[in-house]
Amino acid sequence: MTTRTPLRPLARILHARQKGENPDSIERENLRLRHEVMRDKSRGSAQVRLVILAMSFFGAFTLIGARMGTIAASEPVEPRTASAGAEIDAGRADIVDRNGRILATNMLTHALYVQTRDLIDPARVAKQLAAIFPDLDEKTLLRRFTDGRSFLWVRKVLSPEQMQLVHEIGDPGLLFGPREMRLYPNGTLAAHVLGGSSFGAEGVHSAEVIGTAGLEKFADARLRDPAQAGTPLVTSLDITVQAAVEDVLSAGITMMNAKGGAAVLMDVNTGEIVALAAGPTFDPNDRPANPTSGEPSDSPLFNRAVQGVYELGSTFKIFAASQAIELGLVTPETLVDANAPMYYGKFKINEFEGHNYGPMLSVSDIIAKSSNVGTAHIAMMIGGERQQVFLKSLGLFDASPVELVEAKGAKPLRPARWPEIVTITAAYGHGISGSPLNLATAYASIANGGIKVTPTLLKRTAPMQGERILSERVADLAVGMMRRVVTEGTASLGDVPGYAVAGKTGTAEKTKRGGGYYHDKVVNTFASVFPANDPKYVLVVTLDEPSENTGPKPRRTAGWTAVPVAAEIIRRAAPLLGMRPQVEAASLDGLIAVKN
C-alpha cells in the first residue's frame, strides 16, 4: 500500500507563503499527479480485461470452427448396424448351383457369452446352462465363472429355441452377440466341393466367417469381398444331377464292397464340372476334424475325385492309340504285334489273366480288348519324348487347375526319368498316377474334338477356346474306338440304350507303401464319353478297393465294378441333363467304318 501524499503538505505551504506564492497551486499540482496515477491504474486493468475477453472470444471461435470442420469432414449419417441396401451387405456371399439353387448361405444366429462380474448367481446359471446344453459340464462352467476371469464365450451359435431358454434364466451376466452362421441347407450334398467354413476373428458384435476347405477356401477373398457380397458365386454344379450321382455312387460303393469311390461328370465343350462326388462323404455343417493319424484317405474329408492320386491303368491306352493315329504311325485298322507275353530286357509284359490276344491285333481291337502288349508296341513306335509332350498337353503331369484348394496339393505322380520301359508302362497306365479329375479332363479334351479343356467348378457359358492337341478326325476315331469297348469289349455292362456310351476301363493294383503291388487291392476306373456320335459329357467313375462277390470268386476288374455304376449314373443323370435318348443308327455307321 502506497502512502497517500497529502494535497496540501504543511511544510511546502508554509514555505510558499513565506515566498509569497499561491499555496493553491501546490494543491492543484498534487491533485493532478494523483489523478494521473489513478488513470494509469484503471487503464492497466482495462487492458487486462480486454486481453482476457479477446482470448475467450478467440478460444470460442476456434472451438466452433474446429467442430464445424469435424462435422463437415465426417460421414453425414449415423453409424447403423443393419443396412437396407444389399450392395453394402457385410455378410459372406452365397454359393449357388448353375440354376441358382442355394448350396451355401448365411443365417443370423447369436453367440452366448458371459460377463462374470455381472453374474448374480453363478451356481444357478451354471446349473441351468448345463441343463440347456447337455454337452456343457456344470462343474467346469462354475469353475470358469468364478476363477477370476471377467469374460467367457459359452457357445458360438445358438438356435432360437436355445436362445429363448437362456433368456429365461434371466441373469444379467448372460449376453448375446449377433453371428452370421454359414449354412449348407443340402447337408452332405456336394460336401467335397464346398469344403467347409469356420469362425475367424471373433468379437462381441460380429465374427468373420472364413472358408476352411474346398471352394469356400479357394474363393474366400471373392466370397468375403463386401462389394460382391450381394452377388452369389455361381458354380457349374447342378444340384439334381449331383444328388443323383451321389446317390448312385454311394449305392455302388456299398454294392461293390469298395472302400470309397469318386465320380466326375464334366461338360466336354465348356469344361464345367456338372457333378463331382466322392465317397464316403461328410456334412459340411458339422465338418469333422482333420485326421491326425492313420491314412489320410481313410477320412471322409478325403476328396477321392481330386486328391486321390491313383494309377489309372488301361484308361491311358486310348492316349497312346490316338497319338499314334495323329502322328500317322497307324490307323485304327493297322495290325500291331500283340503276342503275349512280351519281353523287354528283364521285364515281362503280360495280359490280364495270362491271355494272349495275338499274334496280331488291329489298333481298334487293342483298345476293345485292352491289350497291354499291343499298347506297348504302339508306345514304342511313338517314343518317350513325344509321349511325354502329349501326356503333358492333356494335363496329366500337372495338378488340376480346378477351383478347389485341395487340387494344388494333388499333383500327379510320374517317374523323374523316362526310359523306354516307362514309355511302355505309362502307355497302359502303370507307373504314372493321376486323379480321376485329371483323367476326366484328358478325356474331355479328346471328346471335345481334340481341343484342350480346362476344368472349372464355376459356371462358364462360352465353349473352350483352348489349343488343339488332336485333329478333329482323330478325336472322332478315338471316340469310335472307345464306343467299341462298350459294344463288344471289356465294358459291355456300360451300354445304356439311347445314349451311345463310349469309354475305356482301367484296373490298377494299388501300390504298397514300401514298393510293389497288392494283388487283392485294386482301383477300378471307367472313363466314359456320351453320346459317342456327338460327345456332350465325360463321366469318370473310380472305385477304391472294390470286389464284386456275386460270382464263385471275387471279381475285381473295372468291367464288373466301375462300369455298371457308371452305366447307372448315365441312366439317371442323362435324362436330368435334358438329353433325350437317340436311335443309334448314325453311330453304328461310324462303327462299321472303323471296324472294316
Partner 1 sequence: MRPVLYVLSFLAVMALGFWAYRENYATQASLREVTDIQNEIAGLRESLSIERAEWAYLNRPDRLRDLATLNFDRLGLLPMQPSQFGVVAQIAMPPAPLITNIPINGTELVAGTLDGAAIADPEGAQTP
Q: Which residues bind partner 1 (CB under 8 A)?
A: 80, 82-84, 86, 101-102, 105-108, 183, 185-189, 239-240, 243-244, 247, 496-499, 571-572, 574-576, 580-581
Q: Which is nearer to partner 1, 487 or 547 (CB)?
A: 487
Query: Shortest distance, CB of residue 104 to partner 1, whole angstroms?
Result: 9
C-alpha cell at 447: 471328346
Q: Do strands 95-96 and 233-234 pair parallel, antiparallel, or not at all (unpaired)?
A: parallel
Q: Which is nearer to partner 1, 189 or 321 (CB)?
A: 189
Using CA atoms of 78, 84, 88, 89 in order, give the dihedral in degrees to the nearest 10: 110
Tally Cβ neighbours within 10 Å of residue 78: 5
Contact 482, 363 (CB under 8 A): no
Contact 531, 571 (CB under 8 A): no
Contact 248, 238 (CB under 8 A): no
Q: Which is nearer to partner 1, 152 or 183 (CB)?
A: 183
Please report where in the chains the cell 442323362 appears, as a residue.
574
Residue 477 CA to residue 471 CA, distance in Å, equals: 10
Query: Shortest distance, CB of residue 569 to partner 1, whole angstroms?
Result: 12
Residues contacting 82, CB < 8 A, separation 6+: none
Query: Shortest distance, CB of residue 575 to partner 1, whole angstroms?
Result: 4
Query: Shortest distance, CB of residue 587 to partner 1, whole angstroms?
Result: 16
Q: Which is nearer to partner 1, 510 or 536 (CB)?
A: 536
C-alpha closest to that of 458 among 201, 273, 222:
273
Tally Cβ neighbours within 10 Å of residue 10: 9
Q: Which is nearer to partner 1, 280 or 358 (CB)?
A: 280
Q: Do strands 537-544 and 102-115 pair parallel, antiparallel, or not at all (unpaired)?
A: unpaired
Query: Shortest distance, CB of residue 297 to partner 1, whole angstroms?
Result: 25
Query: Shortest distance, CB of residue 511 to partner 1, whole angstroms?
Result: 36
Radius of gyration of the chain from Cα atoms? Answer: 42
Tally Cβ neighbours within 10 Å of residue 107: 12
Query: Shortest distance, CB of residue 585 to partner 1, whole angstroms?
Result: 16
Contact 594, 533 (CB under 8 A): no
Tally Cβ neighbours within 10 Å of residue 461: 6
Measured CA to CA in angstroms, residue 381 lies from 65, 328, 329, 476 at distances of 89, 11, 7, 22
Residue 9 CA to residue 236 CA, distance in Å, equals: 117
Q: Which is nearer to partner 1, 160 or 514 (CB)?
A: 160
Q: Do strands 151-158 and 102-115 pair parallel, antiparallel, or not at all (unpaired)?
A: antiparallel
Query: Shortest distance, CB of residue 596 to partner 1, whole angstroms?
Result: 31
DSSP state of 456: B
C-alpha cell at 332: 485304327
Query: Shortest distance, CB of residue 497 to partner 1, whole angstroms?
Result: 7
Query: Shortest distance, CB of residue 174 to partner 1, whole angstroms?
Result: 23
Q: Which amino acid is at 367?
A: I
Query: Shortest distance, CB of residue 541 to partner 1, whole angstroms?
Result: 18
Q: Which is nearer to partner 1, 187 or 341 (CB)?
A: 187
Q: Which is nearer to partner 1, 244 or 321 (CB)?
A: 244
The whole-angstrom distance between residue 82's C-alpha and the CA centroid of its chain comes to: 29
Residues contacting 263, CB < 8 A, separation 6+: 245, 248, 249, 275, 276, 277, 278, 305, 436, 539, 540, 541, 542, 565, 566, 569
Query: Shortest distance, CB of residue 361 to partner 1, whole angstroms?
Result: 34
Query: Shortest distance, CB of residue 195 to partner 1, whole angstroms?
Result: 18
Q: Which is nearer to partner 1, 241 or 475 (CB)?
A: 241
Q: Which is nearer to partner 1, 175 or 183 (CB)?
A: 183
Q: Which backbone phi and psi does 75 adopt, to 5 degrees?
A: -65, 135
Three-class secondary structure of residue 107 per DSSP: strand
C-alpha cell at 363: 489298333
Q: Which is nearer to partner 1, 187 or 415 (CB)?
A: 187
Q: Which is nearer to partner 1, 301 or 574 (CB)?
A: 574
Q: Which is nearer to partner 1, 237 or 446 (CB)?
A: 237
